[in-house]
Amino acid sequence: MTRHQTPEPWETSEKQLQLFIHLVPIIGFFPSLWTLYRRQGSREQQEVSRQSVTLALLWVIAYSLLSSSWDTPQLWTLRLLLINGLLTSGYFGVSIWMMFRVRQGKSPRLPGIRSISEGIVRKHLF
């Protein structure tokens, strides 16, 4: 394979596969958390793990807050369910977009999430 050809789908490296696993929505939270807890992996893998944990925690917190409204009128319940659906779709979409970036060999960094993950996850959790 020459330098200008794109790799075939079956030619993914082990590094890309590990990053894919960390970026899988919901499920990738656990290997990411384990990587951060054990302080293992490359610098890029640690960064992706922090972003994955941050996205998952933000999604769980927002989803829980929006789902916890028991005594709301029926119209508001419908709106909150719609917002929860959009929030979940956004979380899955961002995770898949980051996976595509990894596949293309680009950095999967998210500017806003990166600063949050550096500030909160790195300082307070690990």
Q: Which two tokens stand for residue 5?
A: 């050809």
Q: Which two tokens stand for residue 72?
A: 């709301």
Q: What angle do CA 122, 26, 36 make, to 5 degrees?
A: 25
Reduced 3-state DSSP string for 4-45:
CCCCCHHHCCHHHHHHHHHHCCCCCHHHHHHHHHHCCCCHHH
Domain boundaries, the chain: 17-125
Tell me the whole-structure pTM to 2 decimals. Answer: 0.76
Q: Which two tokens stand for residue 17?
A: 């596969």
**pLDDT tens, N- to C-terminus, the chain (126 residues):** 445 555 554 445 888 888 889 999 999 999 999 998 888 888 888 888 888 998 999 999 999 888 876 667 777 778 888 899 999 999 999 999 999 988 888 888 777 776 777 676 666 665
